[in-house]
Structure 1
Amino acid sequence: MQKKVIQGGVLLDGTGNPPVKDAVVVIEGNKITKIGKKGEVKLAQEKNVDIIEAKGKTIMPGMIDSHVHIYTDGETSGFTSLPINYNELALAMRSIPRLKKILEMGITSLRDGGSGWGWLEVALRDAINRGDIVGPRFVTSGYHLTVTGGHGHFLPPWLASHKEQCGMHCDGPDEWRKAARLNIYNGTDNVKVVASRDIISPGIATASQPTLEELTAAIEEAHKMGKGAIAHAQGPDAIQKAIKAGANSIVHGFFLDEKSADMMVENNVFLESTNLYVKRVMNMGKGELPDWMVEKAIETWEDKKKNFKMYLDKGIKISFGSDCGVPFLKQGDNALELVMFVELGMSPMAAIVAATKTAAEAIGYGDKVGTIEEGKFADIIMVDGNPLDDISILSEVEKIKMVMKDGNVVITR
């Protein structure tokens, strides 16, 4: 069994514990087997041990982005025309280099927030697991389940029956249940429900759309099959319906009030707050996107500035979910979301925990990855500099000096 030793750097183990200087991390095969300080960890005098020197570097778990859409890459005006210009095979091919790029940026696990398109995520996940293509551990969600005309359908109504969409129309509890079963039958790891509209869909962003019964029917199917349930929800009504229906994570959570926050804490529901998405649409959307999108983004950002600290004070579990793929957010820019966390009041250490331990728990991998602990998979990155001093270095290509996934070094710089 191949043994690797990373030594000499400062260890941030992902738990929030204080940094450890002159750290040693021993990897055997694909697992972490020993952790300690240089001079204290006894290493057997063996041949064929790879020594990785980390002096002057930070050693930390591979980051985990719990929300992207791999079929897109920051398109703006062309976003709604994707179904006309491409089919699912073409978009799957375009996704392959994006997955490699994300991994090489230190994101070793990834959850798609729903790409639809013939369950291309499932094919990509299985190709990664077979070793046919290179990418992070990839967790899939399939089609957005949404009401007729709901968020997640971006073509005009006269093309609503077009088979290639990221959303699937369903109305009434029976249709929602069947749609969830269809996603699971096609191999998804999660069921994604759409409980409200959005800043990039016409109409009131916080408008709640499906009924509690519809949401519950789909989420029941996910849970009975051991799958996660994630809910796109904005505004108190939609957020609270999604929590009552049993959602494990709330995506976006814009205009989340104190009652909703308390419900999330009581029910152990994670929040993927997708802050950079809002700020990019607000700052870059004029002339590229409709004015109403930009206006909704401005209103949403003001709410975030006002209430994000409340989320922290209440103790909501906030997971790093970038929403990369949406307008102005290219795949690979994921870790810029951590800069938003800090800007809105989170400490750099808490942002790192959100991107490691908490995100691993959110995607159902908390026992496998997310922290540097004995027995976990060796998903480890080495960073030039200290992200506790400047969180933005985690988004800079030249600062990510080594990426290890499953005990194998993916890239060194």
Structure 2
Amino acid sequence: MLDIKWIRDNPEALDAALAKRSADPMAAMLVALDEKRRSVVQSLQDMQARRNAASKEIGAAMAQKNSELADRLKAEVAALKDTMPAAEEQERQLSAELNDILSRIPNVPLDDVPVGKDEADNVVARVVGQKPGWNHKAREHFEIGENLGYMDFERAAKLSGARFTVLTSQLARLERALGQFMLDLHTGEHGYIEVSSPLMVRDEAMYGTGQLPKFSEDLFKTTDGRWLIPTAEVTLTNLVAGEILDQEKLPLRFTALTPSFRSEAGSAGRDTRGMLRQHQFWKCELVSITDAESAIAEHERMTACAEEVLKRLGLHFRTMTLCTGDMGFGARKTYDIEVWLPGQDTYREISSCSVCGDFQARRMNARYRSKDDKATKFVHTLNGSGTAVGRCLIAVMENYLNEDGSITVPDVLLPYMGGVTKIEKAD
């Protein structure tokens, strides 16, 4: 959420930022609404001050036995008490309206983010590795998995409907191996703390990271009012909600391997074949909580941690700087890591790493204080995929495909595969 004080002081900057995101200007409307709210607040404060002063004057008048003045003052206090509830209700309504509008406004992009409308305007930051050099025919993951006998979409549909997958035997183990490898890398070498956190959260947690109220249609809700997490970003970031942290203990770095749940409400007709776009999928999430000065450097570091997963797996990828029109709601800057998929003959996103400034922290009221300063500041938050396990499985299947349809297990995954070096067709 953006700071209304910043908007009052920088209305042109807000409208310029919204224009970069192809959104309509809102500064004038927000400032006018806030002025109205502030006017009501000032009126309330004046009434409260006058009520308190009149109450003291009543005592003085009675002490002087001036009953006429005391009666007039009592009538004034009674009138103020009658008037104030309506003003208080007006202030609550105006504050709620302002907060609701602010909660739906996207974050302000950093100055170095390329301006554009959609993914066609994203900019290549770097390209790493080479495409596979083998000469046999490339195949898509669903063809590979079904031919091996370890990927079943029909049974998944029988259980749950579209956009679900059943993996068995060696492919199920390969998926598990990928997740464990990512966790071990991020905790053992990159300094992240592993967290096992809930998969269901309350409204406040979804609001804190920006999924609510704007993106409720993209989420699954339980019958008792909780939400299934669309990413562990929700739980990991909200670990510090409502807290005041010591600056000396920052950055905090958290990671978790969890299922994620998304309704894919806006994806009708997209990636309906295979397991690229699922309602349920595993993801290794990275979250950092920093001070304001460290956030940009932490963004580069986090992206490098996610890239290292693909480097260790020997996968060709490119890292893209997203343009303003393709960037997520809460992000100030985002790098998308896109892995090469030979079966599709294209790059597909496998990780998205974003720096959010204090946008989420304001919603969560998460702050920090240095030992030399009594004042508090909002923390800066970052999140990224380190990486999406299902898409990483797809990439390994398509890039390590052998001519006979088997899949060679990447060397870094061998310790997790119980002696299996090649995934071959089921007997």
Q: TM-score, normalised by structure 1?
A: 0.26
Larger Rg: 2
TM-score by length of 2: 0.25
Structure with the higher fraction of residues in helix conformation: 2
